[in-house]
Chain A
């Protein structure tokens, strides 16, 4: 008999989240609950200077006055912030030598395909691995040091480069920016820090790998990337989590600072556990990502989002300097009962600023996928230009795609273009592939990858292949 879409549906139902294992690693974990005492404790555990503690406490006080935002097109039971643990660290800290790292954690890294083995690392990617709340190991540190590049865990940066952290933290995402950002600023545990000195072109991809392992913990990491004048860096971020029945919270902050003539390319492949096919479990991904561009600077966000039960995320650019450029390339896939409300904000402040937004949503199953974007042209931003293309691809008839574009132009010289399409994978396309000997499952992969190609092309090579595979795994081919 012919292989039908129903067969495919059945087959794909069996396909499970590949990264859903848990690691049995002893953890040093705070009891659930959040108050000033907990914040003191976190800060003390990390041996932080006074100003860092003050920063956290200020954030906590503003967070207490805030309410959780409800404007996003997502529905989920409210998180009980008092039931979460705000700090979890593997007991054996592997910040010194590779040999000291818990073998169980090494096995975890192997499973995730992360090589910290610098001898064997042919891929030329420097990795910072963040396990639950703590950064475990950063590779290639020595080599980068020769160029004056600082790439280390956030905690180390607070200890070793306090002047840089103090100067830049919270300058793009202030503590009171939004509910989740305030929470993160109060309780953030670790993350990555990166500084590229003037005129230096970082010779390798820098990468952070995030993993939530412990149950009932929130992961709150911070990434701060500072590209000094005329420098360049390409930064990658990957995320996975074990399959757990309960929801896990991930509320991160990423701040990018591109000084005059600098360029930052920031790529994310997000594959947090999306919940099972009935919509049980999964990660709540409430992330604030923002970058600021000074004169002639450029920030480019590329994201492939296939995971998380609920995603709330808008990587944005503040185009402050004249002639600065902001880009946002996104593929967001939702399946089963996943919900994503994602997009970007391009804030044009400087003259001749340019922004490009390419957003590709793919919805399958019972999922909901929303694009929310703001293009804001301020009154001094003469000759600002924006191009937005926002496409949605629907698979099956149970899912939803939504677009919420906001445009505010206060300068009459602004040029703003917005294009949007919605399409379905056609029976005709699939049959055409079948007739050339390509089965339905492969045909869907081919069509989806073709659809997302513009964005996938923006990813560094190693990641593009990974991302393609991810798209294949995450899609249940409910076509019709």
Chain B
């Protein structure tokens, strides 16, 4: 699905990612954990194509294509989805209109017919139930006046509507209470299939109780310093990030 090779990236001349190697296959869930400032969000931004970050070295192959060569919108159309840590508000643009535009842009890119009104409404109904999103929210302006939990649920709703190949959840658990966390995680789990993959970026192990990863990677100082199974997350929770830091003082 995605193959990240020795990825280096910097912002304003400061190197943040210092050689990331990661391969995610279809059907897998990977968790990336790490202390604040380790480069977790930078990784998701670089993959999604934020322009402030400059890729200085390395390559990323996404479903056989050179990801770094694609514009942000083409990456999305190819099936890469980023659930934002801080979803953006777009006043006056209804969620529905926004999603319909997004879906049709993707369809046009793939030489498909635009979605019909009936099909679209059916999708909205089905997918909003998945994340227990109030149908009223679907008609409101994108994220405007949404609570923190509603914004995150809306991200997963959008993910469900766009059915991406690879979803990156950037600290989706931050600011969520336990009920919202359960709903969001349930949504993600239901969307899991052998044909798609998920990267969960998180600071805490908590989310991984609900979304059980196949692999856990620890990011520290711009590099993946440890990889393992789901038990690594638990070990990390017990020992804290200082454990990683002390093992990697030479970095």
Chain A interfacial positions (CB closer than 8 Å to B): 1-4, 426, 428-429, 431-440, 442, 446-447, 449-454
Are B49 and A434 neighbours in the complex by a CB distance under 8 Å? yes
Are B49 and A447 neighbours in the complex by a CB distance under 8 Å? no
Residue of B nearest to A452 (CB): B92
Contacts of A453 in B (CB 8 A): 92-93
- Given known pairs A437-B106, A438-B101, the reply for A450 and B92 (CB within 8 Å) is yes
**Alpha-carbon distance A453/B93, docked complex (angstroms):** 8
Residue of B nearest to A5 (CB): B51
21 residue pairs from A and B, CB less than 8 Å apart? A2-B51, A2-B71, A2-B72, A433-B90, A434-B72, A434-B73, A435-B48, A435-B73, A435-B76, A436-B99, A436-B102, A436-B158, A437-B73, A437-B105, A437-B106, A437-B109, A437-B162, A446-B90, A446-B93, A446-B98, A450-B91
**Alpha-carbon distance A384/B208, docked complex (angstroms):** 59
Chain B window 53-90, contacts with chain A (Cβ cutoff 8 Å), 1 for yes, 0 for no: 00000000000000001111101110001101001111
Contacts of B105 in A (CB 8 A): 437-439, 442
**Alpha-carbon distance A117/B72, docked complex (angstroms):** 47
Are A435 and B82 neighbours in the complex by a CB distance under 8 Å? yes
**Alpha-carbon distance A447/B144, docked complex (angstroms):** 13
- Given known pairs A2-B72, A431-B72, the reply for A438 and B102 (CB within 8 Å) is yes
Contacts of A447 in B (CB 8 A): 90, 93
Residue B141 CB within 8 A of the other chain: yes
Residue B50 CB within 8 A of the other chain: yes
Residue of A nearest to B52 (CB): A427
**Alpha-carbon distance A434/B72, docked complex (angstroms):** 6
**Alpha-carbon distance A451/B81, docked complex (angstroms):** 26
Interface centre among A434, A447, A451 (most CB of B within 10 A): A434
| Distance between A468 CB and nearest chain B CB, rounded to angstroms | 12
Query: A439-B71, A446-B101, A451-B92 provided; 5 other pairs, C-beta below 8 A?
Result: A432-B84, A435-B82, A436-B99, A437-B103, A450-B92
Partner pick for A3 among B73, B76, B93, CB 8 A cutoff: B73
| Distance between B208 CB and nearest chain A CB, rounded to angstroms | 24
Q: For this complex, into which size category does the number of interface residues on chain B fall? A: 20 to 34
Are B93 and A2 neighbours in the complex by a CB distance under 8 Å? no
**Alpha-carbon distance A59/B103, docked complex (angstroms):** 59
Interface residues of B in 198-244 (CB under 8 A from A): none
Residue of A nearest to B109 (CB): A437
Contacts of A446 in B (CB 8 A): 90, 93, 97-98, 101
**Alpha-carbon distance A1/B141, docked complex (angstroms):** 31
**Alpha-carbon distance A431/B88, docked complex (angstroms):** 9
**Alpha-carbon distance A436/B97, docked complex (angstroms):** 12
Determine the main DSSP class of A at the interface with B.
Answer: helix
| Distance between B72 CB and nearest chain A CB, rounded to angstroms | 4
| 3 shortest interchain CB distances as A-B pairs | A450-B92, A450-B93, A434-B72
| Distance between A228 CB and nearest chain B CB, rounded to angstroms | 37
| Distance between B199 CB and nearest chain A CB, rounded to angstroms | 15
Contacts of A439 in B (CB 8 A): 71, 73, 105
- Given known pairs A1-B71, A434-B71, A437-B73, the reply for A429 and B50 (CB within 8 Å) is no
**Alpha-carbon distance A4/B49, docked complex (angstroms):** 12
**Alpha-carbon distance A449/B81, docked complex (angstroms):** 25
| Distance between B95 CB and nearest chain A CB, rounded to angstroms | 11
Interface centre among B75, B93, B109 (most CB of A within 10 A): B93
Residue of B nearest to A425 (CB): B90
**Alpha-carbon distance A9/B158, docked complex (angstroms):** 30
Residue of B nearest to A426 (CB): B88
**Alpha-carbon distance A471/B70, docked complex (angstroms):** 29
Contacts of A428 in B (CB 8 A): 88
Are A436 and B93 neighbours in the complex by a CB distance under 8 Å? no
| Distance between A260 CB and nearest chain B CB, rounded to angstroms | 36
Contacts of B93 in A (CB 8 A): 446-447, 449-450, 453
| Distance between B76 CB and nearest chain A CB, rounded to angstroms | 4
**Alpha-carbon distance A428/B141, docked complex (angstroms):** 16
Are B72 and A435 neighbours in the complex by a CB distance under 8 Å? yes
Residue of A nearest to B103 (CB): A437
**Alpha-carbon distance A426/B158, docked complex (angstroms):** 21
**Alpha-carbon distance A405/B49, docked complex (angstroms):** 43
Contacts of B69 in A (CB 8 A): 1
**Alpha-carbon distance A434/B162, docked complex (angstroms):** 13
**Alpha-carbon distance A437/B163, docked complex (angstroms):** 12
**Alpha-carbon distance A344/B65, docked complex (angstroms):** 56
| Distance between B99 CB and nearest chain A CB, rounded to angstroms | 8
Contacts of A1 in B (CB 8 A): 69, 71
| Distance between B53 CB and nearest chain A CB, rounded to angstroms | 11
Residue of B nearest to A448 (CB): B92
- Given known pairs A2-B51, A4-B51, A438-B102, the reply for A454 and B84 (CB within 8 Å) is no
**Alpha-carbon distance A447/B75, docked complex (angstroms):** 21
- Given known pairs A442-B101, A446-B93, the reply for A3 and B71 (CB within 8 Å) is yes
Interface centre among B72, B101, B106 (most CB of A within 10 A): B72
Are A454 and B92 neighbours in the complex by a CB distance under 8 Å? yes
Are B76 and A437 neighbours in the complex by a CB distance under 8 Å? yes
Residue of B nearest to A2 (CB): B71
Partner pick for B98 among A3, A426, A436, A454, CB 8 A cutoff: A436
| Distance between B98 CB and nearest chain A CB, rounded to angstroms | 7
Residue of A nearest to B76 (CB): A437
Partner pick for A432 among B71, B77, B81, B88, CB 8 A cutoff: B88
Are A438 and B73 neighbours in the complex by a CB distance under 8 Å? yes
